[in-house]
């Protein structure tokens, strides 16, 4: 019974051992993008072409949208109210799509 409760807590806290789950993969990709952009910014953002920057921005936007949709589904469908704050923060910070010029 105790093990079952611990497993349920881990599952609801997104602390699963599934390294290749879609959520784990998207969080990893967001982290990689942030590290890449941070590195470019510290070195010389001017050396980055606008097309490359727009591509990174678009990829981040897609990842952020996937994460937002995942969390919305998690909180509403599975009735996990303790994730509502995180869900609201992610959804309200979703990047606005801009047209490349």
pLDDT of the residue at 52: 85
Q: What is the pTM of this model?
A: 0.70
Query: Which stretches of the chain drop beneath a pLDDT of 50?
Result: 101
Q: What pLDDT is attached to residue 22?
A: 76
Phi, psi of 65, deg, nearest 5? -65, -40
Cα 55 to the center of its chain, rounded Å = 17
Residue-level pLDDT at 1? 77
Per residue in 21-39, pLDDT tens? 777 788 889 989 988 888 8
What is the reported pLDDT for 101?
46
User: What is the model's pLDDT at position 68?
Assistant: 92
Residues 6 or more apart whose CB falls under 8 angstroms from that of 66 comprise 22, 26
């Amino acid at each position: 019974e105790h093990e079952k409760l611990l497993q349920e807590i881990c599952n609801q806290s997104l602390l699963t051992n599934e390294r290749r789950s879609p959520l784990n993969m998207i969080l990893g990709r967001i982290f990689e993008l942030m590290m890449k952009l941070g590195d470019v910014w510290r070195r010389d953002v001017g050396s980055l072409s606008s097309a490359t920057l727009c591509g990174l921005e678009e990829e981040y936007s897609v990842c952020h949208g996937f994460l937002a949709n995942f969390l919305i589904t998690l909180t509403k469908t599975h009735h996990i109210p303790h994730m509502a704050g995180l869900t609201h923060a992610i959804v309200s910070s979703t990047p606005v799509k801009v047209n490349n010029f």
